[in-house]
Chains A and B, each alone.
Chain A
């Protein structure tokens, strides 16, 4: 006589969260410790919120910085090229002081390869208060990256330009893999570029109905996919978007 064993009658195993969801959760957890709330906005965005309100007027070279998908709609919508439009939407509807992080999908009209996807996830941060400084921006990002990647990680600024921040900075973190010795991840430089950031441009504050004389702020934004690829050594960004459980179930 044969008896069935439990091997094929086990319970359904637990499913897996997508790694992007996991990282968004961790980002939310860390920023909540600093008082940042979650905010969201639409993926199909108006020209006003995606460009004009962010100090990127038509006929300005800065519009070239982001290759845009345009929709065939009468109102000329775009697929948002960044999560920054949510800054303006949030400031329009909430009274400062305020602190938000905005995780979300963004779109760039560029050919895809192992390191470029036409759609990917970004996280945006915004803090509005009185007398906000670049030092506070550095302090916030330093806190975040230390909590995310380890206490040895340090944050470095490099001069940069974004139409919606002034002063602007490119954010580098010390390489968490080689601790600065130089490896493939940091291209032997000891530093990894992870975000763009700066003090919120007064044009953005005014577009959102705030008085730049009274309020100031900082904002930052970076790719979630890229952080995941760095942290876990995922070799191809497209792995995240093809519905392949061989990827998801590893996390």
Chain B
């Protein structure tokens, strides 16, 4: 909500603190300020009004009231606008749906002649980002931004007959002020005349009775509409406006009365010397009255956790415009009409707490609780398994819960390749392994090993009315070789992992899971009590199994026996978006020379573009001349954060390295 500093000042006789100080006070005591802009000689705050306070804070008066409470200063007293009314043609209004529109005020203003919108008014509007349209619309917008009530002005000469607030009829349409044709249904409330809809009630005005600078006679509408009806309807027809936003937040019907008078007075001011206002026409089925309830001031202070005297509590409440009467130990509160958000002692505690100052609330650690701390069995065994898998050299990955195919479909997916919940972890694991094998030189790995433990989703085999989804925890583990090696079979590595895993879980839980968990080697199936719970090497070097089924048969752990954990202290290095270049170098050095000496040269001459180095081959050879030399083979990864490296950039570096090695008297093989 954009709030102008100069506009706020009109509510105070004494000068407000500087915009910076005011902004800080609002941040501490009311809500976040998302931005502050200088507009001409004004300052405009973008206040992130909290959802339950939209009902009274989407306007300058509401914010001014808060500032008065926060700064312990008085705002100017409220002065009801004064004007005289005259006899004007009869205005007949019928409200057919009083459940959706419990207050409707109408009034004619005759013989109006507006000129250009005065500067003071356009300045106010443009400061808060509103376009000036014409004096009628500008006046209505001004009153709304000033005191919250959405208002509408019809050109009376374009209205035929009487005003009726009714449901739209089948087949009716309306062209809105912005020229869009909207098909109406009997679920939509409209303001109609004898010829048809004039406006979509509480949401958007129609083109037919639009006011222009030439308009001579107007009808002002100031009404109150049901909040959930407005929200439902504006969502259904896809039209959100400043008006619908206020109504759907359940503003008080009292604003309708006040708004009518404010706009009348303003239009009389702008409408020339001949302008006359008619009598107000009110159709109300409900007149708001202040609510009262009692709170115990001790309880208010206890909820916040502060020592606050009754006198101080009363003072804060009064600054918030709440009427207070002492009734024994209790305080009988009279809540201002616009504060529909205040209903319970907790609501009162929040407001007392924030005006008192959230920053002054002490930090008290709750007293210790007797007894042992519980934990879910699944969580316990998943944690054990993670430690086991890491011990076996597998790193943990997390992947998306969405997939392009699956059993459970998402009604409103982000994209067509994310339209289902994943039904396995295998698909994501294959993608991950593919990427990680390509990056193996950067990772410095001969073989890439990874696992994921995560939820997958299938259609339930035994669906009920309440639940048709089978959600369970799956475990997937996979291995791939970075460089081809005929001697190593990845399927054997996974089989070995599965055997160790079953043994480990059996030992951890004391359950004879080895007998229960078997493998059908012909089909690559993992069986638990003769039921299939997973597959192994259906994709080479990969297994996935239903971990929930396994943990279900494990025994309940007695105590939490995992060690206390602290995050590793590491310095994170950002990833380069550019591909790496891989170069190998093998060098004969005199036997006994350490590989570190060679590495020092590589690092020194490799410069900032040289990333990871890896010693991947070492052997020592006796030469015919009797000398003994050791060969060190290093792989070097070159990568830039700024661009894709070419040979032209990498070759001079490797040549410089080779020259330095030759200088040492060593031989590049």
Binding site for B on A (CB under 8 A): 1-5, 7-8, 12-23, 25-26, 28-29, 32, 34-40, 42-44, 46, 59-62, 65, 69-75, 77, 79, 97, 99, 105, 107, 109, 111-112, 118-119, 127, 129, 131-136, 138-140, 142-143, 155-161, 166-170, 199, 201-202, 216, 231-235, 239-251
B397 touches A (CB below 8 Å): yes
Binding site for A on B (CB under 8 A): 27-32, 50-54, 228, 231-232, 248-249, 302-306, 344, 346-347, 349-350, 353-354, 358-359, 361-366, 368-369, 373-376, 378-379, 383, 386, 389-402, 408-414, 418, 421, 428-429, 431-432, 435-436, 439, 442-443, 445-452, 454-455, 457, 465-469, 471, 560, 564-568, 570, 572-575, 615-622
A-B contact pairs, 30 of them (CB 8 A): A1-B622, A8-B446, A12-B392, A15-B395, A15-B450, A21-B386, A32-B560, A38-B375, A42-B471, A44-B421, A59-B228, A69-B412, A77-B469, A79-B401, A79-B421, A99-B369, A112-B414, A136-B366, A161-B50, A166-B350, A167-B353, A167-B354, A235-B574, A243-B450, A244-B432, A244-B435, A245-B436, A246-B442, A249-B443, A250-B570
Contacts of B383 in A (CB 8 A): 25
Measured between alpha carbons, how far is A73 from B390 in the docked complex, in Å? 37
Contact B350 A159 (CB under 8 A): yes
Question: In the complex, which residue of chain A has the Cβ closest to the Cβ of B409?
Answer: A72
Contacts of B344 in A (CB 8 A): 166, 202
If over half of A's interface residues share one DSSP class (helix, strand or loop), that class is named, otherwise mixed; here it is mixed
Contact A35 B373 (CB under 8 A): yes
Contacts of B439 in A (CB 8 A): 244-246
Contacts of B442 in A (CB 8 A): 246
Contact A243 B436 (CB under 8 A): yes
Question: In the complex, which residue of chain B has the Cβ closest to the Cβ of A63?
Answer: B231
* Count of inter-chain pairs, beta carbons less than 8 A: 296
Q: Quote the shortest CB–CB distance from A243 to chain B (angstroms).
A: 3
Contact B408 A157 (CB under 8 A): no
Contact A107 B401 (CB under 8 A): yes
Contacts of A199 in B (CB 8 A): 303, 346
Question: In the complex, which residue of chain A has the Cβ closest to the Cβ of B448?
Answer: A245
Cross-chain contact of B365 among A17, A140, A232 (Cβ < 8 A): A140
| Known contacts A15-B393, A71-B411, A248-B395; A61 and B364 CB within 8 A of each other | no
Contacts of A23 in B (CB 8 A): 567
| Known contacts A34-B365, A159-B31, A244-B436; A251 and B397 CB within 8 A of each other | no
Q: Quote the shortest CB–CB distance from A73 to chain B (angstroms).
A: 5
Contacts of B52 in A (CB 8 A): 161
Q: Quote the shortest CB–CB distance from B154 to chain A (angstroms).
A: 29
Contacts of B306 in A (CB 8 A): 135
| Known contacts A22-B568, A61-B249, A159-B30; A127 and B414 CB within 8 A of each other | no
Nearest 8 CB-CB pairs, A to B? A135-B305, A243-B432, A133-B305, A167-B350, A12-B393, A161-B50, A5-B618, A157-B358
Question: In the complex, which residue of chain A has the Cβ closest to the Cβ of B343?
Answer: A166
Contact B32 A61 (CB under 8 A): no
Contact B304 A133 (CB under 8 A): yes
Question: In the complex, which residue of chain B has the Cβ closest to the Cβ of A238?
Answer: B400
Measured between alpha carbons, how far is A142 from B362 in the docked complex, in Å? 10
Q: Quote the shortest CB–CB distance from A219 to chain B (angstroms).
A: 13
Contact A169 B455 (CB under 8 A): no
| Known contacts A22-B565, A28-B565, A43-B401; A138 and B411 CB within 8 A of each other | no
Measured between alpha carbons, how far is A111 from B316 in the docked complex, in Å? 43
Cross-chain contact of A29 among B54, B389, B421, B566 (Cβ < 8 A): B566
Contacts of A3 in B (CB 8 A): 619-620
Contact B393 A155 (CB under 8 A): no
Contacts of A29 in B (CB 8 A): 564-566
Contacts of A247 in B (CB 8 A): 575
Measured between alpha carbons, how far is A239 from B378 in the docked complex, in Å? 27
Contacts of A73 in B (CB 8 A): 408, 468-469
Q: Quote the shortest CB–CB distance from A66 to chain B (angstroms).
A: 11
Contact A26 B567 (CB under 8 A): yes
Contact A243 B30 (CB under 8 A): no
Contact A37 B398 (CB under 8 A): no
Contact A135 B304 (CB under 8 A): yes
Q: Quote the shortest CB–CB distance from B443 to chain A (angstroms).
A: 6
Given contacts A20-B398, A72-B411, 19 further A-B contacts (CB under 8 A): A2-B621, A7-B618, A14-B390, A18-B398, A29-B566, A43-B401, A59-B232, A60-B231, A61-B248, A71-B408, A136-B305, A136-B365, A138-B364, A159-B29, A159-B350, A167-B353, A232-B572, A233-B572, A243-B428
Contacts of B409 in A (CB 8 A): 71-72
Measured between alpha carbons, how far is A192 from B634 in the docked complex, in Å? 45
